[in-house]
């Protein structure tokens, strides 16, 4: 079987029907400020199998016990996993009719989520909401080395930024370059966009032929300031996934995840360390001396994926066994646990009290809601499909709610209510 077809088959099996690539926000990142949220809780579930249904449901109160997600306030969606969130908005990468682009949902007068905006893209791509009037997205049809601008309130495209002046050229340097297909992030008035020197004929997904490079752009002036390059990381996140695999700490630090599933010029996987790297608050370059991997958690070759920050602690999930590569043969096994990490000392504590969960490809396994950490737990052996909540001791977690109908839990958040 062709390696590429097999690889995507694995992810389709795990995550439901995934669409190819369109970010959410945390201040300027993937998690909106949950401390002030007063709006509805939103839960996405998806049934398994190609073409099956997914369901968005909005709740006035925090779900608890057994939850039927196909209720009076559910919106039937396509069965892809995950979503992105800013303020009172939910963002996806395709409409219910299957058109790809940047899709916005709001809770309507009926109490259900309703589509309230759409920007069509040739293929669905990374996007980021910086504030109510400023957003960015990637659309290869408009140029692989450009970033598109949009207004999240009006959901209208407002222009573009050409990043080609920052692209290196020369002997041995790939000319198949993508900007913004893997990463669009922001902090402290700066936009950070990946520059991927893809292999010949490559898609820019995990096939960067050079070390991971980002353009740094001043958002107010759109000035292209510089590029920054990590000393060994090659790729960030998993571009076809709705989960951006980065987060912003309360101090402004950006934390990025690399799977290490890197492919060379011949499209052969050459695995690299999986872990978390960062750009510190007040800085505009990578912290080259800081890298959180499985070995620092005493799990050799552990696979890191989900990352969130809460009250100064970094929370990550990590596989207790190495992922079988390049087959991904055990990726669907329940083998992920969660650690709380002090980002300064790297001191780590494993969170206990919940069953091992599966790889959170399309949604991530960690969410911060109401200033509490929720852990997505999918465990067939324990008949659990929902979320656990971190207890006040910061070391254990207890069951929050279990989805009884509507498919696998695929994302949970709270709208701001403003």
Q: What pLDDT is attached to residue 14? A: 42
Report the residue count for the chain.
418
Dist CA 265 CA 209 (whole Å): 7
Mean pLDDT of 47-56: 71
Given a contact cutoff of 8 angstroms between Cβ atoms, the answer to whether 307 and 314 are in contact is yes
Nearest residue to 90 (alpha-carbon basis) of 70, 111, 59, 113: 113
Look at strands 304-310 and 113-120 and give their pairing: unpaired
pLDDT at 19 over 50: no
Give the tens place of pLDDT for each residue, 315-361: 999 999 999 999 999 999 999 999 999 999 999 999 999 999 999 98
Per-residue pLDDT band at 36 (split at 50, 70, 90): low
Dist CA 409 CA 57 (whole Å): 11
Q: What pLDDT is attached to residue 391? A: 98
DSSP characters for 29-57?
SSS---TT--S-EEEEEE-SSTT-EEEEE
Give the tens place of pLDDT for each residue, 74-90: 887 765 568 999 999 99
Look at strands 397-405 and 65-68 and give their pairing: parallel
Q: What pLDDT is attached to residue 39? A: 93
- In whole angstroms, what separates CA 97 from the centre of its chain? 23
Greatest CA separation found in the chain?
A: 61
pTM: 0.91
pLDDT at 27 over 60: no
Q: What pLDDT is attached to residue 260? A: 95
Mean pLDDT of 220-244: 94
Dist CA 104 CA 120 (whole Å): 12
pLDDT at 300 over 50: yes
Given a contact cutoff of 8 angstroms between Cβ atoms, the answer to whether 273 and 293 are in contact is yes
Dist CA 371 CA 36 (whole Å): 9
pLDDT at 296 over 90: yes
pLDDT at 372 over 90: yes
pLDDT at 13 over 70: no
pLDDT at 17 over 80: no
19 φ/ψ angles, rounded to the nearest 5 degrees:
-105, 160
State both tokens at 156.
């209208």
Q: Where are the domains of the chain?
A: 3-410
pLDDT at 26 over 50: no
pLDDT at 9 over 70: no
Q: What pLDDT is attached to residue 10? A: 44
Q: What 8-state DSSP symbol labels residue 5?
A: H
Q: Provide the mean pLDDT of the chain.
A: 89
pLDDT at 1 over 70: no
Q: What pLDDT is attached to residue 340? A: 98
Given a contact cutoff of 8 angstroms between Cβ atoms, the answer to whether 138 and 161 are in contact is no
**% pLDDT > 70, the chain:** 89
Q: What pLDDT is attached to residue 341? A: 98
Nearest residue to 108 (alpha-carbon basis) of 150, 62, 58: 58
Dist CA 252 CA 254 (whole Å): 6
Mean pLDDT of 114-121: 93
pLDDT at 47 over 70: yes
Dist CA 123 CA 400 (whole Å): 36
Coil vs helix vs strand at 325: coil
Q: What pLDDT is attached to residue 6? A: 40
Q: What pLDDT is attached to residue 5? A: 40
**Domain 3-410 classified CATH 3.40.50.720?**
no
Dist CA 111 CA 209 (whole Å): 48
Mean pLDDT of 264-285: 96
């Amino acid at each position: 079987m062709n390696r590429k077809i097999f690889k995507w088959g694995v992810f389709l099996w795990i995550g439901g029907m995934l669409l190819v690539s369109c970010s959410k926000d945390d201040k300027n990142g993937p998690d909106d400020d949950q401390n002030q949220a007063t709006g509805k809780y939103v839960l996405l579930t998806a049934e398994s199998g190609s073409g099956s249904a997914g369901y968005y449901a909005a709740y006035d109160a925090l779900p608890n016990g057994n939850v039927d997600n196909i209720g009076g306030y559910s919106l039937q969606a396509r069965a892809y996993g995950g979503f992105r969130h800013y303020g009172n908005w939910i963002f996806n990468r395709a409409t219910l009719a299957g058109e790809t682009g940047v899709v916005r949902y709001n809770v309507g007068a009926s109490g259900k989520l309703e589509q309230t905006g759409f920007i069509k893209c040739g293929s669905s791509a990374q996007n980021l909401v910086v504030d109510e009037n400023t957003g960015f997205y990637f659309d290869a049809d408009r140029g692989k080395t450009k970033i598109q601008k949009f207004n999240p309130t009006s959901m209208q495209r407002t222009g573009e930024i050409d990043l080609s002046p920052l692209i290196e050229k020369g002997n041995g340097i790939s000319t198949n370059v993508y900007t913004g297909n893997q990463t669009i992030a922001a902090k402290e008035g700066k936009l950070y966009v990946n520059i991927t020197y893809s292999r010949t004929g490559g898609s820019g997904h995990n096939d960067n032929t050079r070390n991971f490079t980002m353009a740094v752009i001043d958002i107010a002036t759109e000035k292209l300031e510089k590029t920054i390059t990590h000393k060994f990381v090659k790729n960030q996140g998993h571009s076809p996934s709705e989960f951006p695999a980065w987060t912003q700490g309360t101090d402004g630090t950006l934390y990025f995840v690399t799977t290490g599933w890197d492919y060379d010029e011949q499209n052969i996987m050459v695995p690299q360390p999986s872990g978390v790297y960062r750009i510190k608050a007040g800085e505009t370059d990578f912290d080259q001396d800081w890298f959180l991997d499985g070995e620092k958690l005493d799990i050799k070759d552990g696979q890191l994926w989900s990352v969130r920050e809460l009250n100064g602690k970094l929370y990550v999930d990590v596989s207790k066994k190495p992922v079988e590569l390049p087959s991904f043969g055990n990726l669907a096994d329940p083998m992920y646990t969660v650690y709380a990490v002090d980002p300064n000392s790297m001191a780590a504590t494993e969170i206990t009290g919940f069953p091992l969960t599966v790889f959170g490809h399309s949604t991530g396994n960690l969410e911060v809601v109401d200033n509490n950490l929720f852990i997505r737990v999918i465990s067939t052996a324990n008949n659990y499909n929902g979320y656990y909540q971190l207890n006040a001791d910061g070391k254990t977690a207890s069951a929050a709610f279990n989805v009884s109908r509507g498919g696998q839990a695929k994302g949970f958040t709270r709208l701001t209510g403003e």
